[in-house]
Amino acid sequence: MGIELNRRNFLSAAVSAAGLVAMGPLLSACGGGGPSRAGVNSESALKAVLPTYVPNTSIKPDIPSIAGGPDVLTDPGFLGYPTNRVATVSGVPGKGGKYSAVTPLWGTIPPADNSFYQAMNKALGVELEMKPADGNNYNTIIPTMTAAKKLPDWINLPGWWNPQFNTGGLVGNQLADLTPYLSGDNVKKYPNLAAIPTAAWRAGAWGDKLYGIPSFSTGFKVAGVVFYRRDVLEAKGITADQVKSADDLMKLGKELTDAKAGVWAFDDVYRYIYTSFGAPLKWKVDNGKLIHVFETSEFLDAADWHRKLALAGYVHPDALAGDNAGSNTRFYAGKTLIGGGGQGAWNLADLQSGQAANPNYRRGAFNFFAADGKSTPRVDMGQSTDIVSYLNINLKPEQIEECLAVANYLAAPFGSAEYTMVNFGVEGTHFTMKDGVPTPTEAGMKEVQAKTYPFLAAPPSVVNNPTGDIVTKDLTAWQAANLKALAKPVFWGMNVSMPQAQATAEAAQPVEDTLKDVIHGKKSIQDLKDAVANWKSSGGGDRLIQWMNDNVLQKFGTGQ
Amino acid sequence: MTSIRADRAGRPARLSWRIRLRRDRSLILMTLPAVVLLLVFNYVPLFGLATAFQEYDPLAGVWQSTWAGLYQFERLLSDSLFWGALKNTLWLSFVQLILFFPVPIALALLLNTVLSERIRNFIQSVVYLPHFFSWVLAVTIFQQMLGGAGALNQFLRGNDIGTWDIMTNPDTFALLVTSQVIWKEAGWGIIVFLAALAAINTDLYEAAAADGAGRWRRLWHITLPGLRSVIVLMLVLRLGNALSVGFEQFLIQRNAVGHDTAEVLDTFSFYYGIATGDYSYGAAAGLFKSVISLLLIWGANKLAHAFGEDGLYRK
């Protein structure tokens, strides 16, 4: 998470764009600092164009957001579904334009030209042809469009695919610059877009210009969380605040593991815990020197801790056998009691699955702690969102304005009339209210439930689990308790593109492979040290660090 | 050898292609769809091999990517991980050749001795079935049965006998994957041998029995020679595929025993090529494998011909 470094040879993008052969790899673009023309501090240049944030106050959450450090904000919580569905957009945003849109969809593709699309077109005042594509194959579908320069008018390019897509090479060549429409106070023309926090716009900013419209943004993005079975642990008298150090966690391993009964305390948790040891997410700058996580002793400490955890027999054997797919099943069945995951795992569906296995099921998360138990807990915060949509460069200015007006409708706040329309369809046709909760009808299941429009634009994330308010309360309380630990890592939200050789070194597959063996207790820390040394010398590691230093740190700073 | 020569001498004089075309027209038409499929899915993609000589960029496409000559191959040959993968592949292939290859033959012979059609069909269905499972399922079943928290180990644990590490032990990994292959594929592998067995003239058995040949003599002098050409054909194909020991099976279990043990050429291409976006490198590894495989299959076929067998085709 965090900074998704984006491998790529700028060269090829330049070739496809201009038909010219440029020499040598270039830094294609950085949000937070593109190829700076006059050595200006890109952070200040970007700040000058980022849209003004005007929070929406029309709908009050039951559990309001709490602000932490810069750009850190907990997600607001809603219990139930708002009954007073206020309208935030007056009239119809569109002027009858015709557009095509492609979004990734993880689910069954709804039938084309269905009643929901028709209702949406009517509400939006445009003819927006939705072409959702299979999310699992999205990264093979889009390159054919970009290679042929046949992108639709509106397209979603998720941030985690930057490495494949070289979005940095597409912006300005195939994707429209939205800076003139959205920068600074210009965004106020679109109040719902203005209600997206400023930081989220960085995800779609390249070379000090705004290109992307962020969906599902959040001010509380972390790489992962260490979850535990709250129902089981509390029954044993263990509460989250008792875990203040890595040692405490290790002790829980002994206390909770009962192999004979088929219960192991832990699933694989390394990825969710290594930053607690003081290791950076990926990069850190120490006295002006750029340091990669593999070079830090804290990285080795974290690996060693997990290695001991595995060797002590506190990790479920299936997890040690590399079976990650079954981790949820193990957790629900109570065969593991502590495991890692993204915050997204903490939702209504999780509660329902868990309760199906055990009616008392309750998910909890440990607070971020410092491994030594003494330092101040700190966790590197990730980019606000990975879901970003872009407009085609061939659109005329008035068409771009029309699309932005549509985006404004789509980004209407949670619980508003527009939000309800976008996410649930027409009341009576696509959903009915049951116990105060919009419940999809059969048509709604088919046509609306597969999320399409929100991938073009959506309001900031909220926590809402109708019929499972306990989840909303637990999650928001956990966020509030951990707000102070979140801090921006270096290069936060900078969207770096790098040449292939560096990108390969960045992926560091040989080190990752060895790391897996080490944390599963199959190899020694010395093996890991050797793998890192080998990566640095012959795996391109040193060249990667040098490249990042020369092309990013020295030119654009740390982004902080 | 003599028999082949005699055979060849007995062939009619070659007809002109025009006449042969007219004669075989309907046969050719019938194979056409399969040929088209083969062209589209097996030959056209060969064009992608060009990426092995490039710094391929999926965004720019094959035409626009920069050429890198043999650079990817230089990298490959100096990569110790690649040599490790090659070594593992050859070792696993060897183990499978020794332990797996004879199993379907033996199974076919055994099944052939079962007279009751009902029992035979039943056994056939049971041994065929695992072939239709995906590797994910097959490995999951193994994990559930033999894994650290599986049925066997929970039983041992429950009785304080101590546990037996089967699924994550790198030292016995070759045996583990071979037993998985036997369980999953041996039943399916017998089909071709059963067909060959059915083609053996039963008169031969009767005549041999009348001459006083026992069960083993009949097996040795009639059944096995009857199977010989098929066995050799399968062996040639197996050798040609020596560098393809499977992909999913190792992909799934790579984390269980570590990449040192489970990395084979196909997973190497995947992890160090596709997964890290280093497509050209992966393509180079794939091409290298294909060239070696071609040489192997060519060599094995030559060898078969030298022993007077048909191999892949009649010489």
Residue A12 and residue B64: Cβ atoms within 8 Å? yes
Interface of B with A in 254-273 (CB under 8 A): 254-260, 271-272
CATH number, domain at A130?
Answer: 3.40.190.10
Q: Are residues A205 and A352 in the same domain?
A: no
pLDDT at A225: 92
Q: Are residues A283 and A215 in the same domain?
A: no
For residue A231, tell me if it sits in a domain. yes
For the record, the structure tokens of A269 come out as: 């948790």
B178 touching A (Cβ < 8 Å): no
For residue A297, tell me if it sits in a domain. yes
**Could you give the domains of chain B?**
1-69 (no CATH), 77-306 (1.10.3720.10)
Q: Are residues A374 and A424 in the same domain?
A: no
Contact call for residues A498 and A6 (beta carbons, < 8 A): yes
Q: Are residues A302 and A399 in the same domain?
A: no
pLDDT at B1: 40
Strand A133-134 relative to strand A154-156, pairing: unpaired
B66 Rama class: left (phi>0) / alpha (psi -120 to 50) / beta: beta
Residue among B51, B54, B59 with most chain A CBs within 10 A, to mutate: B59
Q: Enumerate the residues of chain B whose CB falls inside 8 A of the CB of residue A169.
A: 59
Distance CA A349, CA A332 (A): 12
For residue A503, tell me if it sits in a domain. no
For the record, the structure tokens of B225 come out as: 């020679």
End-of-domain residue from the set A444, A467, A486: A486
Q: Please name the residue of chain A whose CA is at the shortest distance from the CA of residue B256.
A: A321
Q: Enumerate the residues of chain B whose CB falls inside 8 A of the CB of residue A264.
A: 149
Residue A516 and residue B255: Cβ atoms within 8 Å? yes
Model confidence pLDDT, tens digit, residues B21-59: 899 999 999 999 999 999 999 999 888 889 899 888 766
A-B C-beta contacts closer than 8 Å: 117
Q: Enumerate the residues of chain B whose CB falls inside 8 A of the CB of residue A265.
A: none
- Stretches where chain A sits below pLDDT 50 are 1-41
pLDDT at B13: 65
pLDDT at A549: 92
Q: Are residues A350 and A283 in the same domain?
A: yes
Q: Are residues A48 and A194 in the same domain?
A: yes
Residue A317 and residue B149: Cβ atoms within 8 Å? yes
Q: Are residues A204 and A229 in the same domain?
A: no
Distance CA A391, CA A152 (A): 8
Looking at residue B66, what DSSP letter applies? Answer: E
Q: Are residues A229 and A322 in the same domain?
A: yes
Q: Are residues A63 and A208 in the same domain?
A: yes
Distance CA A402, CA A176 (A): 14
Q: How far is CA A517 from the centre of its chain?
A: 27
Q: Which of B55, B61, B148 sits opposite A500 (nearest CB)?
A: B55
pLDDT at A163: 55
Q: Are residues A392 and A370 in the same domain?
A: no
Residue A516 and residue B157: Cβ atoms within 8 Å? no
Reading chain B (315 residues) residue by residue, the pLDDT tens digits are 444 444 444 555 677 888 888 999 999 999 999 999 999 999 998 888 898 998 887 666 778 788 889 999 998 999 889 999 999 999 999 999 999 999 999 999 988 888 788 998 999 899 999 999 999 999 999 999 999 889 999 999 999 888 888 888 989 999 999 999 999 999 998 989 999 998 888 888 889 888 888 888 888 888 988 898 889 888 888 888 888 888 999 999 998 898 889 999 999 998 888 777 788 999 999 999 999 999 988 988 888 888 888 777 777
For residue A521, tell me if it sits in a domain. no
Residue B147 and residue A321: Cβ atoms within 8 Å? yes
CA distance B184 to chain A (A): 20
- φ/ψ of residue A486, rounded to 5: -75, 130
Q: For chain A, how many structural domains are there in total?
A: 2
Contact call for residues B167 and B143 (beta carbons, < 8 A): yes
Please give the full DSSP string across A350-381, using - where no structure is assigned: HHHHHHHH-TT--EEEPPP--TTSSSPP-EEB
For residue A126, tell me if it sits in a domain. yes
Cβ partners under 8 Å of residue B138, min gap 6: B130, B180, B183, B184, B249
Distance CA B49, CA A248 (A): 54
Q: Which domain holds residue A366?
A: 225-378
End-of-domain residue from the set A378, A412, A443: A378
pLDDT at B82: 93
pLDDT at A183: 92
A400 Rama class: left (phi>0) / alpha (psi -120 to 50) / beta: alpha
Q: Enumerate the residues of chain B whose CB falls inside 8 A of the CB of residue A517.
A: 258-260
Q: Enumerate the residues of chain A whose CB falls inside 8 A of the CB of residue B271.
A: 509, 513
For residue A529, tell me if it sits in a domain. no
CA distance B66 to chain A (A): 8
Q: Are residues A256 and A287 in the same domain?
A: yes
Q: Which of B57, B149, B281 sits opposite A262 (nearest CB)?
A: B149
pLDDT at A42: 65
Q: Enumerate the residues of chain A whose CB falls inside 8 A of the CB of residue B157.
A: 259-260
End-of-domain residue from the set A458, A486, A514: A486
For residue A350, tell me if it sits in a domain. yes
For residue A509, tell me if it sits in a domain. no
Q: Enumerate the residues of chain B whose CB falls inside 8 A of the CB of residue A520.
A: 168, 255, 258
Interface of A with B in 327-366 (CB under 8 A): 335
Q: Are residues A312 and A257 in the same domain?
A: yes
